[in-house]
Amino acid sequence: MAFSDKILQKSIDPTVHQMLDRAEQAGIETVWDRYEKMLPECGFGELGVCCRNCNMGPCRISPFEDEGPQKGICGATADIIVARNLIRMIAGGAAAHSDHGRDLAHTLLLTAEGKSGGYEIKDEAKLAALAKEYGITADGRTKEEIALDLAKAVYAEFGKQEGPLQFTRRAPQKRVDQWQKMGIDPRGIDREIVEIMHRTHIGVDNDPVNLILQGLKASIADGWGGSMVATEISDVLFGTPEPVRSEANLGVLKADHVNIVAHGHEPVLSEMILAACSDPALVAKAKGLGAKGINLVGMCCTGNELNMRHGIPLAGNFMQQELAVITGAVDAMIVDVQCIMPALGDLCECFHTQFISTSYKAKFPGAVHMQFNEENALSIAKEIVGSAVDNYANRVPEKVFIPEEKSDCMVGFSAEAIIKALGGTLDPLLDAIKSGAIKGIAGVVGCNNPKIKHDLGHVGLVKELIKNNVLVVTTGCNAIATAKVGLMLPEAADQAGDGLKGVCQSLGIPPVLHMGSCVDISRILNVCAAAANALGVDISDLPVAGAAPEWMSEKAVSIGAYVVSSGIFTVLGTVPPVLGGPLVTEVLTQGANDVVGAAFAVETDPVKGAGLMIAHMDAKRKALGI
């Protein structure tokens, strides 16, 4: 089938081409259409020089010194406004990921107290390890007693008024010393987020550098605090991921099954939806309506959570959520929080799809709200799945079109699974890096953004990295993008350089390792910390780099800030709204090297972005004498 150049320029994914053509013929609007209607986007907003933090404005700073205002009504300069706007984005992103962690801590508490509706502690070894880390006695006690103390200790991390946060001490001592020297060692997770909101109120902090330091501090509280809590407690409750085979792309939908898409971010919901989909009564009900069974698939980070623990197929990443509905085969789109487009409400009305929201924090126009809570988790999940099954009878066969494309993938490489694959120690990986077989390690993460051809940034950058013997670890939408094109298969080692290819073949692993959802970037931090400790250096000394080729969310801003704050050079594929502040831009791209030993670079071309990362790794290798 031939598609117009307009459609072909939107994505590299053939399922996207098919669904956009279908949407165009049906007169259905998608995220790409809304992006095009928004052009040209506000130039002041793109530069970050507009301020709405009080009601004297809104104010905007002219990028031209000889015309237009150069200060806000209160006297704030472009750099002040840009810095305030930037760290408010960090606050929003840190709040989102840290709230995810708080919800997991709450679920662990209820489970330990015997008050949850279907959860259990599945990884007792990790529970014991975390208890030891927190100084909690385990001998002679039940797992529920240990979990109760752990839940209370983790809960306390959010409201702490004085630090340190426990997981920040996983970082090398040199890194902790640098944080303390610069005054960015976080005290409590919530405290640092709240302090950003205070400092950015009119008339408080008006030093751009001081503002940025507080942003870095809050981001560390996210990456080494709230996000790490989310990852670790998820593993305790739902099991630590191990390598498993799965499939990815819209072709995982099945015309002869009840199709349920779990979309959002928190496994507290999706684990129960999975359990409900296996309920014999609900499966029998589906078959009674003519379906062959219930087909649960994942979207975005909830998809990654289900995929890495259970092998549940991935239907797609952020930009494909509308396209899944446009197949006409989705009986229910079940969502919780984060990265869910409110456009889904109107879209689902064009089909038979039920759009079901479940969180009191996140309600959407056009959605049926079925309130979920942990105390009655499984029974509520069965009600939700039952509603989806009933809706199968309303499907319109003439409206169903499911692309055939899907790819096999190997997923579930937690830090523990990577070490296990290496024989129980990081030594083989470090030896491969020292020998040059592996040039370095790249953490490639992040969202989709219609400003960039869908998946091109992700796939183009990753292919260039592995070709140059860089081992890639990935989470979030990048993980899904690379899974869809077969880069998460051991056979993909044929696309890698000879050194990386040999390592992958000897271990039976792909050159791109799936480490989970976007909160699971904390797994990457743990691997980097362990490698640095093994070598007796700081993370900033390692031949490692990060990238977010298609980022768009506030969470990504917080992630980028804590990755750089951890000492990892990071390349961004879309331009952040900071260019209107020359001092802020200089601090982020150069000055941060003196503060945290790493900085940002912006490169919209994925191959050139990979080149920057490879050059950085070469420089670090030379400094280490390897």
Six-digit token string for 64: 């031209």
Is 528 annotated in some ligand binding site? no
Amino acid letter, 308? M
SS3 content of the chain, % helix, strand, coil (to 5): 55, 10, 35
Using CB atoms within 10 Å of the CB of residue 409, give its burial: 0 to 12 exposed, 13 to 18 middle, 19+ buried: buried
Angle ∠(70,42,323) on CA atoms, nearest 5: 155
Is 409 annotated in some ligand binding site? no
CA distance 610 to 87: 27
Q: What Cα–Cα distance (Å) separates residue 175 from each residue in 95, 220, 296, 620?
A: 24, 12, 42, 16
DSSP string for 482-536: HHHTTTTSGGGGGGS-HHHHHHHHHHT--SEEE--SGGGHHHHHHHHHHHHHHHT
CA distance 536 to 520: 25
CA distance 65 to 53: 23
Radius of gyration of the chain measured on its C-alpha atoms:
24
CA 481 to chain centre: 13
How would you write 581-605 as a 3-class SS string? CHHHHHHHHHHHHHHHCCCEEECCC
Is 59 annotated in some ligand binding site? yes
Is 339 annotated in some ligand binding site? yes
> If residue 198 lies in a helix (H) or strand (E), which one and from where to where?
helix 189-199
Is 350 annotated in some ligand binding site? no
Any bridge partners for residue 600, and if so which? 570
Please state, as a whole number, how many other Cβ atoms lie within 10 Å of the Cβ of residue 174.
Answer: 17
CA 322 to chain centre: 19
Is 477 annotated in some ligand binding site? yes
CA distance 255 to 244: 25
C-beta separation of 99 from 226 below 8 A: yes
- Residue ranges of the annotated binding site are 42, 50-51, 54, 59, 74, 265, 301, 339, 447, 477, 518
- Residues of each annotated binding site for [Ni-4Fe-4S] cluster: 265, 301, 339, 447, 477, 518
Binding region for [4Fe-4S] cluster: 42, 50-51, 54, 59, 74
